[in-house]
Amino acid sequence: MDKIHQDDVELIGSLLDANRLPDGWQVFLDKLLEHFNLKHINLYILCNSTFSPRFQDYSGMKPSEQALKEYMDRFFAIDKVHHAMLEGPECKWVTGNFEPYQSMLNAMPWYHYWACIKNDVPYTTGTVLFRTPENICAIVFQRSKAQGPYTQVEEDRFTAISPYIAKAVRLRVKLAEKEKDGLRLKSILNKLKLPVATLNEFGEVIAKNSKMDELLNNIETIKIGKDKRILLTKQGDNLSLQRSVVQSVSIAKNRDSDYTNDAVNIYDYKNNSKISIGACELIERDEDSGDVFVGAMIYVVAPDLIQSVSKEQLKSLFTLTESEAHCCHLFGRNMSLKEIAVHRDTSVNTVREQIQNCYKKTGTKNQLELINMISSLPMVQV
């Protein structure tokens, strides 16, 4: 193990609080950002086989969603420098302004446009902290043009501190696996009307209700894999769901993310029906210890799982407008925002705004809560 630079000893000491305090990791990443004069830090975990996201944490500048989407859609697959990092040895840093990586970047004109002009992060360095059979854990540092390139001395310092960060993240993963009593959670989840499963911040299932158990036994398009993650039949759907989970965890942390948490629509050929699977944030507070659990909850929506409630009843009970009641009724029947917009001959943004109004008036925060509330309503004549 490389010798820690004397200026970095105190920084490594702050890792002791990273897993002990509720905001310990954010504090550490903020210190790391300032300590090395960085513009952005991204700590993330990818699925080893697909490079799809499972988890992320960051500090500093957040690139725009448009710029990140452009990078992921157009450039990620051909970014030889990033792939050299992801495929390289653990704790071996790849620094973009060093050779041979500088020459690689010079051969990618789009990089200079995306990194230098659009986002002012021309200087990037990163490493894989550790690998498991399923995942890659990596960390990336970025600097602006004004902050300047990285030096060999700095890369040596990054190499020296990497094993300590890796050890702390490994511990974080182990703690996430054990931080909830599955039986207690399952009793809570069994009160919900829809199939649901609770995930830790790394996307692993730690509890599910009996309705989810029943669904998994009777459907072919949704499974739980050996790595404890929800798996869909199509890889594209899997990627969308994983991004939705990442976004939901970020919302639970009161943070922005690079992704959206729209529901994923899949078709169940066995039962000849459309199913939506979504993710929403989960927060639990302990009044005694003040600890905050942040994670995500996966839920499955299908027409035969939802009690039918008329738009007239919804309008009467919650003082919804005619449009809001209609949107709420269709949303509760598992129609997507786009499908509702087409059905009502309006825009998706208008439907999204009306659904947000429904959340406020019904005292719910997301589709899961809204549908669970609708399914619990007594059937009355209005």
The pLDDT of residue 382: 37
Decide if pLDDT at 101 tops 50.
yes
Same domain, 158 and 30: yes
Mean pLDDT of the chain: 83
55 Cα distance to chain centroid = 6
The pLDDT of residue 308: 65
Q: Which of 159, 177, 195 is the last residue of a domain?
A: 177
Q: Among 54-68, 76-90, 118-132, 198-212, name the most confident range.
A: 118-132
Same domain, 187 and 243: yes
Same domain, 249 and 322: no
Same domain, 241 and 337: no
Decide if pLDDT at 137 tops 90.
yes
- Can you read off the two tokens belonging to residue 86? 């992801």
Number of domains in the chain: 3
Strand partners, 284: 293
Question: Where does the pLDDT of residue 259 fall: very low under 50, low under 70, confident under 90, or very high at 90 and above?
Answer: low
Regarding predicted confidence, which is higher, 293 or 11?
A: 11
CATH at 254:
3.30.450
Same domain, 39 and 110: yes
Contact assessment for residue 76 and residue 100, using Cβ atoms and an 8 Å cutoff: no
CATH at 367:
1.10.10.10
- 229 to each of 141, 205, 223, 298, 326, how far by Cα in Å? 29, 6, 8, 11, 35
8 Cα distance to chain centroid = 31
Tens-place pLDDT, residues 197-239: 888 878 888 888 888 988 888 888 888 888 788 888 887 888 8
Contact assessment for residue 29 and residue 43, using Cβ atoms and an 8 Å cutoff: yes
Residue 229 belongs to what domain range? 182-305
The pLDDT of residue 177: 67
Question: Where does the pLDDT of residue 127 fall: very low under 50, low under 70, confident under 90, or very high at 90 and above?
Answer: very high
Same domain, 167 and 203: no
Same domain, 27 and 149: yes
Same domain, 299 and 334: no
Question: Where does the pLDDT of residue 380 fall: very low under 50, low under 70, confident under 90, or very high at 90 and above?
Answer: very low
Same domain, 281 and 366: no
The pLDDT of residue 207: 84
Within a domain: residue 380?
no
> What is the pTM (predicted TM-score) of this model?
0.65
The pLDDT of residue 125: 96
C-alpha span between 353 and 89 (Å, rounded): 48
Within a domain: residue 382?
no
Cβ burial, residue 314 (10 Å; 0-12/13-18/19+): buried
The pLDDT of residue 290: 53
The pLDDT of residue 77: 75
Q: What percent of the chain has pLDDT over 90?
A: 29
CATH at 119:
3.30.450.80
The pLDDT of residue 179: 54
Question: Where does the pLDDT of residue 379 fall: very low under 50, low under 70, confident under 90, or very high at 90 and above?
Answer: very low
Decide if pLDDT at 244 tops 80.
yes
Tens-place pLDDT, residues 17-27: 888 887 889 99
